[in-house]
Amino acid sequence: MAHAVRRHRWVVLTFVAAAGLAVLVSTRLGRVAAQEAGRPVGATYTGKAFTFNEVVPGVYHAVGTGALAVGCNASVIVNADDVMVIDTNLSPGAAWALREEVKALTPKPVRYVVNTHWHWDHAHGNQIYGPDVTVIGHEYTRAKLAAGDSMRGRSYEMFITTGLPARIADLKAKLAAAPAAGRATLESQLAIAETQLAGSKGLVPTPPTLTFTDHLTLTRGGREIRLLYLGRAHTGGDIVVFLPKERVVITGDLLVEGTSYIGDGFLADWPATLDRLRALDFDITLPGHGTAFRGKAKIDHFQAYLRDFRQQAEALHKAGVPAEAAAAKMDMRTHAEHYPALTTPGVLWHGVARAYEEFEGTAR
């Protein structure tokens, strides 16, 4: 059981890249009023919600600071006359924070938003963008968001429906027992979690308004922006944003710094999709979770991980082992050289359940 708990904690950290648990100086009493300047519920925070790392001129990797739960990294492309935002984080409040903080980078308006895929931590901020903003995604992403799938399922249950109230209850219990010296950190963590819960109650999944099935190219000023569907991977509709002149690719969760969440993936297809990614001419990857990185070695590492994961899951499936029991038996530590968090046997059962769905022909 201990190894499963440790694995679960690691997945939470990598999948929700900033659940807002960083130590902050301020207490809840010092936080900004949510009603100011039309800010939505779930946008209460102090300081900055994002750090904007400029990787090439005009292209930024927006990473959460921990002052607000944001869920994933976003990317921002400042063009000659407008701005494109890639992924809108986990709530209208987080999306609002990003949009407001982009104003410190440029006075140019956001005119385009891209959803790399349909998951709640990447697309639940879509609703703050009005009719003057084009929200772009794959047709599969639109269908999933329109059906309300982003507000149900294994990950949403674990992180939001059940997980977030449980997190709040745990923090309240710790706060009640904490000495005075330890209260500020817990109060800050509790405020961030409560803000996230409030923001999750007011959201309406909002699908893209412009979709495609294969590729879409935009030219903004002198910048060429290619939106590419390379095949099924993390979901059935992952797209990457490729800037050929800048040699930058924005991958969402198709390829991240660590191991990506597998619970809605297509393990049989994912390695081949990564081969198509490798064929692009790029130097820098801006992932949906973790830090930006150079080179293509992580493609090799993750392909090996995925193939091993599927092979182990298939053997356990053939042996008739239920998914949750199989997850405890799986051992991915041979990949620890590239993924140091893999210190114990056991994986999150979501990925095994998804592999079983593939074997049984029910993965959609």
In a domain, 173, yes or no: no
pLDDT (0 to 100) of residue 181? 86
Give the whole-angstrom CA distance, residue 22 versus residue 35: 24
For every one of its 364 residues, what pLDDT tens digit does the chain have, with 9 covering 90 and above? 333 333 443 333 333 333 333 333 333 333 343 335 578 889 999 999 999 999 999 999 999 999 999 999 999 999 999 999 999 999 999 999 999 999 999 999 999 999 999 999 999 999 999 999 999 999 999 999 999 999 999 999 999 999 999 999 999 999 999 898 889 999 999 999 999 999 998 789 999 999 999 999 999 999 999 999 999 999 999 999 999 999 999 999 999 999 999 999 999 999 999 999 999 999 999 999 999 999 999 999 999 999 999 999 999 999 999 999 999 999 999 999 999 999 999 999 999 999 999 999 999 9
In a domain, 180, yes or no: no
Give the whole-angstrom CA distance, residue 26 versus residue 183: 11
Kindly report the pTM of this predicted structure: 0.88
In a domain, 51, yes or no: yes
In a domain, 212, yes or no: yes
In a domain, 186, yes or no: no
Tokens 């960083």: give the residue: 22
Q: How many CB atoms lie within 10 A of CB 81?
A: 10
Spacing of C-alpha 313 from chain mean position: 24
pLDDT (0 to 100) of residue 30? 37
pLDDT (0 to 100) of residue 8? 40
Q: What is the CATH number of the domain that holds 225?
A: 3.60.15.10
- Measuring CA to CA, which residue among 273, 219, 221, 218 is closest to residue 251? 273
pLDDT (0 to 100) of residue 28? 37
pLDDT (0 to 100) of residue 5? 34
pLDDT (0 to 100) of residue 36? 52
In a domain, 190, yes or no: no
What is the number of domains present in the chain?
A: 1
In a domain, 183, yes or no: no
- Measuring CA to CA, which residue among 350, 351, 354, 362 is closest to residue 154? 350
In a domain, 171, yes or no: no
Give the whole-angstrom CA distance, residue 74 versus residue 88: 7
pLDDT (0 to 100) of residue 37? 53
Task: Give the structural domain span for 125.
Answer: 2-153+205-359
| 33: DSSP letter | P
pLDDT (0 to 100) of residue 25? 33
3-state secondary structure of 346: coil
